[in-house]
Structure 1
Amino acid sequence: MIGDKLAALRRRAGMSQQEVASAIGTSRQTISNWELGQGSPALDKAAELARLYGVTLDDLVSDEVDVVSSGGQGRTCDIHVPRAFIGRTVTVAYAGDGSALLDAEVLDVSDGWLRVACTVKRPRLGSLKVDEERVVRLIDLRDIDGIATTGA
Protein backbone atom coordinates (compact mmCIF):
# COMPACT_ATOMS: atom_id res chain seq x y z
CA MET A 1 0.00 0.00 0.00
CA ILE A 2 2.88 2.40 0.67
CA GLY A 3 4.00 1.90 -2.93
CA ASP A 4 0.72 3.21 -4.33
CA LYS A 5 0.86 6.12 -1.92
CA LEU A 6 4.42 6.99 -2.91
CA ALA A 7 3.51 6.94 -6.60
CA ALA A 8 0.41 9.12 -6.03
CA LEU A 9 2.38 11.64 -3.97
CA ARG A 10 5.15 11.80 -6.57
CA ARG A 11 2.65 12.38 -9.38
CA ARG A 12 0.91 15.07 -7.31
CA ALA A 13 4.27 16.79 -6.83
CA GLY A 14 4.80 16.68 -10.61
CA MET A 15 8.13 14.93 -10.21
CA SER A 16 9.78 12.09 -12.08
CA GLN A 17 11.27 9.14 -10.25
CA GLN A 18 14.72 10.51 -11.13
CA GLU A 19 13.90 13.90 -9.64
CA VAL A 20 12.73 12.30 -6.40
CA ALA A 21 15.81 10.08 -6.31
CA SER A 22 18.08 13.09 -6.76
CA ALA A 23 16.23 15.07 -4.09
CA ILE A 24 16.67 12.38 -1.43
CA GLY A 25 20.00 10.92 -2.51
CA THR A 26 19.07 7.52 -3.87
CA SER A 27 18.68 5.86 -7.28
CA ARG A 28 15.74 6.03 -9.66
CA GLN A 29 15.55 2.22 -9.50
CA THR A 30 15.14 2.37 -5.73
CA ILE A 31 12.22 4.80 -6.11
CA SER A 32 10.70 2.49 -8.72
CA ASN A 33 11.09 -0.52 -6.45
CA TRP A 34 9.40 1.27 -3.55
CA GLU A 35 6.50 2.35 -5.77
CA LEU A 36 6.11 -1.22 -7.04
CA GLY A 37 5.98 -2.55 -3.48
CA GLN A 38 9.36 -4.25 -3.78
CA GLY A 39 10.71 -2.96 -0.49
CA SER A 40 10.09 0.13 1.58
CA PRO A 41 12.19 3.16 2.40
CA ALA A 42 14.28 3.18 5.56
CA LEU A 43 13.13 5.62 8.23
CA ASP A 44 15.54 8.38 7.20
CA LYS A 45 14.47 8.17 3.54
CA ALA A 46 10.78 7.96 4.50
CA ALA A 47 11.19 11.15 6.54
CA GLU A 48 12.84 12.87 3.56
CA LEU A 49 10.00 11.73 1.28
CA ALA A 50 7.38 13.01 3.74
CA ARG A 51 9.07 16.43 3.82
CA LEU A 52 9.40 16.47 0.03
CA TYR A 53 5.70 15.71 -0.45
CA GLY A 54 4.39 17.94 2.36
CA VAL A 55 2.84 15.16 4.45
CA THR A 56 3.64 13.75 7.86
CA LEU A 57 5.67 10.60 8.31
CA ASP A 58 2.58 9.00 9.86
CA ASP A 59 0.56 9.87 6.75
CA LEU A 60 3.20 8.32 4.56
CA VAL A 61 3.52 4.97 6.32
CA SER A 62 0.09 4.40 7.87
CA ASP A 63 -2.23 1.94 6.15
CA GLU A 64 -5.13 3.88 7.67
CA VAL A 65 -4.31 6.99 5.62
CA ASP A 66 -5.38 7.14 1.97
CA VAL A 67 -4.15 9.75 -0.51
CA VAL A 68 -6.74 11.16 -2.91
CA SER A 69 -5.11 13.11 -5.71
CA SER A 70 -5.61 13.20 -9.44
CA GLY A 71 -1.94 14.07 -9.79
CA GLY A 72 -2.86 16.92 -12.06
CA GLN A 73 -1.83 20.51 -11.76
CA GLY A 74 -5.31 21.82 -10.99
CA ARG A 75 -6.41 25.16 -9.73
CA THR A 76 -5.12 26.68 -6.53
CA CYS A 77 -7.32 26.75 -3.47
CA ASP A 78 -7.50 29.36 -0.75
CA ILE A 79 -7.04 27.25 2.40
CA HIS A 80 -9.04 29.74 4.48
CA VAL A 81 -12.31 28.45 3.00
CA PRO A 82 -11.87 24.75 3.89
CA ARG A 83 -10.45 25.73 7.30
CA ALA A 84 -13.92 27.03 8.19
CA PHE A 85 -15.10 23.41 8.05
CA ILE A 86 -12.64 21.97 10.60
CA GLY A 87 -14.55 19.85 13.11
CA ARG A 88 -17.64 19.62 10.91
CA THR A 89 -19.13 16.75 8.96
CA VAL A 90 -19.11 17.52 5.25
CA THR A 91 -19.63 16.22 1.76
CA VAL A 92 -16.62 16.79 -0.49
CA ALA A 93 -16.95 16.76 -4.28
CA TYR A 94 -13.61 16.27 -5.97
CA ALA A 95 -11.56 15.49 -9.07
CA GLY A 96 -14.02 16.90 -11.57
CA ASP A 97 -15.57 13.49 -12.25
CA GLY A 98 -18.60 13.74 -9.99
CA SER A 99 -16.95 11.76 -7.18
CA ALA A 100 -18.04 12.71 -3.70
CA LEU A 101 -17.05 11.72 -0.22
CA LEU A 102 -20.06 11.74 2.10
CA ASP A 103 -20.11 12.24 5.87
CA ALA A 104 -16.44 13.06 6.25
CA GLU A 105 -15.22 14.85 9.35
CA VAL A 106 -12.74 17.59 8.52
CA LEU A 107 -9.73 17.13 10.79
CA ASP A 108 -7.30 19.69 9.41
CA VAL A 109 -6.30 21.74 6.40
CA SER A 110 -2.68 22.30 5.48
CA ASP A 111 -0.88 23.68 2.47
CA GLY A 112 -2.12 21.40 -0.27
CA TRP A 113 -4.20 18.91 1.73
CA LEU A 114 -7.64 18.53 3.29
CA ARG A 115 -7.43 15.87 6.04
CA VAL A 116 -10.72 14.09 6.72
CA ALA A 117 -11.85 11.05 8.67
CA CYS A 118 -14.47 8.87 7.05
CA THR A 119 -15.89 5.36 7.08
CA VAL A 120 -15.07 3.16 4.11
CA LYS A 121 -16.21 -0.31 3.20
CA ARG A 122 -13.49 -2.83 2.45
CA PRO A 123 -13.95 -6.45 1.43
CA ARG A 124 -12.93 -8.95 4.07
CA LEU A 125 -10.08 -11.12 2.81
CA GLY A 126 -11.34 -14.57 1.81
CA SER A 127 -14.98 -13.69 2.45
CA LEU A 128 -17.95 -12.15 0.73
CA LYS A 129 -18.51 -9.93 3.77
CA VAL A 130 -17.58 -6.28 3.85
CA ASP A 131 -16.06 -4.52 6.86
CA GLU A 132 -16.53 -0.87 7.68
CA GLU A 133 -13.33 0.86 8.67
CA ARG A 134 -12.61 4.38 9.84
CA VAL A 135 -9.76 5.90 7.82
CA VAL A 136 -8.10 9.22 7.27
CA ARG A 137 -7.97 10.59 3.75
CA LEU A 138 -5.67 13.30 2.50
CA ILE A 139 -7.49 15.04 -0.33
CA ASP A 140 -5.50 17.24 -2.70
CA LEU A 141 -6.97 20.73 -2.33
CA ARG A 142 -6.51 21.30 -6.07
CA ASP A 143 -8.98 18.49 -6.75
CA ILE A 144 -11.83 19.81 -4.60
CA ASP A 145 -14.80 21.00 -6.63
CA GLY A 146 -17.01 21.77 -3.63
CA ILE A 147 -17.49 21.26 0.08
CA ALA A 148 -20.66 21.57 2.14
CA THR A 149 -21.81 20.68 5.64
CA THR A 150 -24.07 17.66 5.87
CA GLY A 151 -25.35 17.93 9.43
CA ALA A 152 -26.97 20.40 11.74
Structure 2
Amino acid sequence: MIQDKLLALRKRSGMSQQEVADTVGVTRQTISNWELGQGSPTLDKAAELARLYGVSLDDLASDEVEIVTRERRERKHDFHILKSLVGKTATLELADSVADDIIKHATVLDVSDGWMRVNCDQNTAMFGSPKTKRKRVIRLIDFADITAVIVESDAPPSGIAQTSQESNLA
Protein backbone atom coordinates (compact mmCIF):
# COMPACT_ATOMS: atom_id res chain seq x y z
CA MET A 1 0.00 0.00 0.00
CA ILE A 2 1.24 3.48 -0.83
CA GLN A 3 0.88 4.73 2.74
CA ASP A 4 3.34 2.09 4.01
CA LYS A 5 5.80 3.00 1.26
CA LEU A 6 5.54 6.72 2.01
CA LEU A 7 6.28 6.15 5.69
CA ALA A 8 9.18 3.76 5.04
CA LEU A 9 10.73 6.03 2.41
CA ARG A 10 10.43 9.13 4.60
CA LYS A 11 12.07 7.33 7.53
CA ARG A 12 14.82 6.05 5.23
CA SER A 13 15.47 9.60 4.04
CA GLY A 14 15.81 10.81 7.62
CA MET A 15 13.31 13.61 6.95
CA SER A 16 10.51 14.75 9.24
CA GLN A 17 6.94 15.05 7.99
CA GLN A 18 7.38 18.83 8.08
CA GLU A 19 10.53 18.69 5.92
CA VAL A 20 8.75 16.52 3.33
CA ALA A 21 5.71 18.80 3.43
CA ASP A 22 7.88 21.88 2.84
CA THR A 23 9.68 20.17 -0.04
CA VAL A 24 6.52 19.12 -1.91
CA GLY A 25 4.42 22.15 -0.96
CA VAL A 26 1.73 20.67 1.29
CA THR A 27 1.00 20.77 5.02
CA ARG A 28 2.54 18.43 7.57
CA GLN A 29 -0.97 17.15 8.30
CA THR A 30 -1.35 16.17 4.63
CA ILE A 31 1.84 14.08 4.83
CA SER A 32 0.54 12.48 8.03
CA ASN A 33 -2.80 11.69 6.38
CA TRP A 34 -1.09 10.09 3.38
CA GLU A 35 1.10 7.95 5.68
CA LEU A 36 -1.98 6.86 7.66
CA GLY A 37 -3.90 5.93 4.50
CA GLN A 38 -6.39 8.77 4.97
CA GLY A 39 -6.08 9.96 1.41
CA SER A 40 -3.46 9.68 -1.30
CA PRO A 41 -1.23 12.19 -3.05
CA THR A 42 -2.31 13.57 -6.41
CA LEU A 43 -0.29 12.41 -9.40
CA ASP A 44 1.92 15.53 -9.43
CA LYS A 45 2.62 15.24 -5.68
CA ALA A 46 3.30 11.50 -5.98
CA ALA A 47 5.81 12.26 -8.77
CA GLU A 48 7.53 14.84 -6.52
CA LEU A 49 7.67 12.33 -3.66
CA ALA A 50 9.12 9.65 -5.95
CA ARG A 51 11.86 12.07 -7.08
CA LEU A 52 12.54 13.13 -3.50
CA TYR A 53 12.97 9.53 -2.36
CA GLY A 54 14.89 8.36 -5.44
CA VAL A 55 12.35 5.79 -6.62
CA SER A 56 10.20 5.61 -9.73
CA LEU A 57 6.58 6.67 -9.69
CA ASP A 58 5.69 3.10 -10.72
CA ASP A 59 7.57 1.71 -7.70
CA LEU A 60 5.81 4.15 -5.40
CA ALA A 61 2.30 3.57 -6.74
CA SER A 62 2.30 -0.12 -7.67
CA ASP A 63 0.95 -2.62 -5.15
CA GLU A 64 3.11 -5.17 -6.98
CA VAL A 65 6.35 -3.60 -5.66
CA GLU A 66 7.44 -4.06 -2.07
CA ILE A 67 9.85 -1.59 -0.43
CA VAL A 68 12.47 -3.30 1.76
CA THR A 69 14.26 -0.81 4.00
CA ARG A 70 14.95 0.14 7.58
CA GLU A 71 15.59 3.58 8.97
CA ARG A 72 18.46 5.55 7.49
CA ARG A 73 22.04 4.46 8.01
CA GLU A 74 25.15 5.79 6.38
CA ARG A 75 27.05 3.10 4.45
CA LYS A 76 29.16 3.43 1.37
CA HIS A 77 28.91 0.91 -1.45
CA ASP A 78 30.84 0.27 -4.62
CA PHE A 79 28.02 1.21 -6.95
CA HIS A 80 29.81 -0.04 -10.09
CA ILE A 81 30.11 -3.53 -8.57
CA LEU A 82 26.42 -3.62 -7.74
CA LYS A 83 25.55 -2.31 -11.22
CA SER A 84 27.38 -5.32 -12.71
CA LEU A 85 24.78 -7.60 -11.08
CA VAL A 86 21.94 -6.43 -13.37
CA GLY A 87 20.56 -9.43 -15.26
CA LYS A 88 22.18 -11.95 -12.92
CA THR A 89 20.49 -14.32 -10.50
CA ALA A 90 21.68 -14.11 -6.91
CA THR A 91 20.96 -14.91 -3.31
CA LEU A 92 20.78 -11.80 -1.13
CA GLU A 93 21.52 -11.79 2.58
CA LEU A 94 19.70 -8.98 4.33
CA ALA A 95 20.39 -7.30 7.65
CA ASP A 96 18.70 -8.65 10.76
CA SER A 97 15.20 -7.33 11.39
CA VAL A 98 14.46 -7.03 7.66
CA ALA A 99 11.66 -9.27 6.36
CA ASP A 100 13.09 -12.47 4.86
CA ASP A 101 16.73 -12.45 6.01
CA ILE A 102 17.68 -14.35 2.83
CA ILE A 103 16.18 -13.94 -0.63
CA LYS A 104 17.13 -16.85 -2.87
CA HIS A 105 17.19 -16.95 -6.68
CA ALA A 106 16.46 -13.24 -7.12
CA THR A 107 16.91 -11.80 -10.59
CA VAL A 108 18.51 -8.35 -10.35
CA LEU A 109 16.46 -6.03 -12.55
CA ASP A 110 18.09 -2.68 -11.81
CA VAL A 111 20.51 -0.92 -9.47
CA SER A 112 20.19 2.82 -8.91
CA ASP A 113 20.01 5.60 -6.32
CA GLY A 114 20.66 3.39 -3.30
CA TRP A 115 18.18 0.69 -4.40
CA MET A 116 18.41 -2.78 -5.89
CA ARG A 117 15.26 -3.84 -7.77
CA VAL A 118 14.83 -7.62 -7.88
CA ASN A 119 12.28 -10.16 -9.07
CA CYS A 120 11.99 -13.02 -6.57
CA ASP A 121 9.70 -15.70 -5.16
CA GLN A 122 7.47 -14.97 -2.19
CA ASN A 123 5.62 -17.62 -0.23
CA THR A 124 2.19 -16.62 1.00
CA ALA A 125 -0.04 -18.60 3.31
CA MET A 126 -3.21 -20.02 1.83
CA PHE A 127 -6.23 -19.22 4.00
CA GLY A 128 -7.43 -22.28 5.91
CA SER A 129 -4.57 -24.47 4.70
CA PRO A 130 -1.11 -25.33 6.03
CA LYS A 131 0.18 -25.02 2.45
CA THR A 132 1.78 -21.93 1.00
CA LYS A 133 1.51 -20.46 -2.47
CA ARG A 134 4.59 -19.20 -4.27
CA LYS A 135 4.43 -16.17 -6.54
CA ARG A 136 6.98 -13.90 -8.21
CA VAL A 137 7.13 -10.37 -6.80
CA ILE A 138 9.25 -7.29 -7.34
CA ARG A 139 11.12 -5.90 -4.35
CA LEU A 140 12.96 -2.61 -4.11
CA ILE A 141 15.73 -3.25 -1.55
CA ASP A 142 17.73 -0.54 0.20
CA PHE A 143 21.49 -1.07 -0.39
CA ALA A 144 22.08 -0.51 3.33
CA ASP A 145 20.00 -3.60 4.12
CA ILE A 146 22.01 -5.91 1.86
CA THR A 147 24.87 -7.54 3.77
CA ALA A 148 26.02 -10.03 1.13
CA VAL A 149 25.31 -11.09 -2.43
CA ILE A 150 25.98 -14.60 -3.69
CA VAL A 151 25.87 -14.61 -7.49
CA GLU A 152 24.65 -17.83 -9.00
CA SER A 153 27.14 -19.06 -11.55
CA ASP A 154 26.58 -18.73 -15.27
CA ALA A 155 27.39 -21.59 -17.63
CA PRO A 156 30.98 -22.58 -16.86
CA PRO A 157 33.46 -21.57 -19.58
CA SER A 158 35.45 -24.29 -21.34
CA GLY A 159 34.30 -27.13 -19.09
CA ILE A 160 35.70 -25.50 -15.96
CA ALA A 161 33.46 -26.02 -12.95
CA GLN A 162 32.34 -22.71 -11.55
CA THR A 163 30.95 -22.12 -8.07
CA SER A 164 28.98 -19.18 -6.85
CA GLN A 165 30.82 -15.94 -6.28
CA GLU A 166 30.18 -14.09 -3.04
CA SER A 167 30.44 -10.35 -2.66
CA ASN A 168 30.37 -9.04 0.90
CA LEU A 169 28.91 -5.54 0.96
CA ALA A 170 29.64 -4.63 4.57
How does the TM-score come out when normalised to structure 1? 0.91
Deviation at 1:122, TM superposition (A): 2.5
Q: Is the 8 A contact 1:24 1:45 kept in 2?
A: yes
1:75 aligns with 2:75: yes
Give the structure 2 partner of residue 57 of structure 1. Answer: 57
Cα distance in 1, alignment partners of residues 74 and 124 from structure 2? 29
Cα distance in 1, alignment partners of residues 27 and 46 from structure 2? 14
How does the TM-score come out when normalised to structure 2? 0.82
Please identify the structure whose Cα radius of gyration is greater. Answer: 2
Give the structure 2 partner of residue 121 of structure 1. Answer: 123
Cα distance in 1, alignment partners of residues 50 and 142 from structure 2? 15
Gapped regions of structure 2 (runs ≥ 5) = 155-170
How large is the RMSD of aligned CA atoms in angstroms?
1.7
Which whole-Å deviations, capped at 9, do the CAs of 1:28-84 have from their partners, x for residues lacking one? 111111111111111010000000000000000000111111122131211111112
Q: Is the 8 A contact 1:116 1:136 kept in 2?
A: yes
Deviation at 1:127, TM superposition (A): 4.5
State the SS of the aligned residue for 1:32: helix
Give the structure 1 partner of residue 168 of structure 2. Answer: none
Give the structure 2 partner of residue 107 of structure 1. Answer: 109
Gapped regions of structure 1 (runs ≥ 5) = none
Cα distance in 1, alignment partners of residues 107 and 116 from structure 2? 10
Q: Which has the higher contact order (CA 8 A, sep 6+)?
A: 1
